[in-house]
């Protein structure tokens, strides 16, 4: 393995002060974390990444209402307030956004072999069609606002079932990409990351 020069040596060689060298842009400023999950033969998942926004700034004290306004303003009409089912499921004909309005939870994304993700009030998870998700555990006050793009209001909730896999893959392939990001709008991260 080749030895990499330290940042201070590299800065001196390039004639830069150490504070002017940026190694990587942090996640933030409207940029979500991206999570990728492969098809496991039961849960199709998606070639598109799950987008995870942490601590979205919301106006007012009613977080559920603020999330509903945010999603509606960005062309993802809110559909329900509830929790997340405790069994693996996915939506083969719709993309979904989950906005955590209260409490905290551990969600497993991507199916049985997926990834456990801790979410708290103010976090938003954008799930491409076919992405498995379930609630492993949550606080008693856990509340989520769910929304979908305008042309995907008649969504199917599919439990993990190998017999439904092939049909689901066909449905997922026909789901159109949304025109906007539910958190950051038309010029937000989703349109670029889901191309």
Mean pLDDT of 138-146: 98
What pTM was estimated for this model as a whole? 0.84
Q: How many domains are contained in the chain? A: 1
Structural domain containing residue 55: 45-193
Q: For position 30, what pLDDT does the model report?
A: 64
Mean pLDDT of 164-179: 96
From residue 165, how far is each of 29, 48, 99, 169 by CA, in Å? 37, 18, 27, 6
- The answer as to whether 34 is a domain residue is no
Q: For position 27, what pLDDT does the model report?
A: 45
Q: Tell me, what CATH number does 181's domain have?
A: 2.60.120.10
- The answer as to whether 92 is a domain residue is yes
Three-state SS annotation for the chain? CCCCCCHHHHHHHHCCCHHHCCCCCCCCCCCCEEEEECCCCCCCCEEEEEEEECCCCCCCCCHHHHHHHHHHHCCCCEEEEECCCCCCEECCCCCEEEEEEECEEEEEECCCCCEEEEEECCCEEEECCCCCEEEEEECCCCEEEEECCHHHCCCCCEECCHHHHHHHHHHHHCCCCCCCECCCECCCHHHHHCC
Mean pLDDT of 8-16: 36
- The answer as to whether 121 is a domain residue is yes
- The answer as to whether 23 is a domain residue is no
Task: Render pLDDT for 49-94 as a digit per residue (tens, 0 to 9).
Answer: 999 999 999 999 999 999 999 999 999 999 999 999 999 999 999 9
CA distance linking residue 107 with residue 15, whole number of Å: 47
Residue 30: Cβ within 10 Å count = 14
Does 7 score more than 80 pLDDT?
Answer: no
CA distance linking residue 183 with residue 195, whole number of Å: 17
Q: For position 169, what pLDDT does the model report?
A: 97
Does 23 score more than 60 pLDDT?
Answer: no
- The answer as to whether 56 is a domain residue is yes
Provide the mean pLDDT of the chain.
88
- The answer as to whether 118 is a domain residue is yes
Task: Render pLDDT for 104-125 as a digit per residue (tens, 0 to 9).
Answer: 999 999 999 999 999 999 999 9
Mean pLDDT of 28-39: 86
- The answer as to whether 187 is a domain residue is yes
- The answer as to whether 125 is a domain residue is yes
């Amino acid at each position: 393995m080749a030895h990499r020069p330290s940042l201070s040596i590299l800065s001196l060689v390039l004639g830069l002060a150490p504070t002017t060298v940026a190694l990587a842009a942090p996640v933030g400023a409207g940029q979500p974390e991206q999570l990728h999950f492969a098809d496991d033969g039961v849960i199709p998942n998606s070639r598109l990444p799950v987008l995870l926004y942490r601590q979205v700034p919301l106006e007012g004290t009613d977080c559920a209402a603020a999330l509903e306004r945010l999603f509606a303003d960005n062309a993802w009409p809110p559909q329900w307030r509830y929790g997340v089912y405790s069994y693996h499921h996915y939506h083969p004909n719709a993309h979904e956004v989950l906005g955590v309005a209260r409490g905290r939870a551990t969600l497993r994304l991507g199916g049985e072999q997926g990834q456990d993700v801790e979410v708290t009030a103010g976090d938003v998870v954008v799930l491409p069609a076919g992405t498995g998700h379930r609630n492993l555990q949550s606080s008693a006050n856990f509340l989520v606002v769910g929304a979908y793009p305008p042309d995907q209001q008649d969504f199917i909730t599919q439990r993990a079932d190998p017999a439904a896999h092939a049909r689901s893959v066909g449905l997922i392939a026909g789901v159109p990409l949304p025109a906007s990001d539910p958190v950051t709008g038309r010029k937000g991260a989703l349109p670029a990351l889901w191309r």
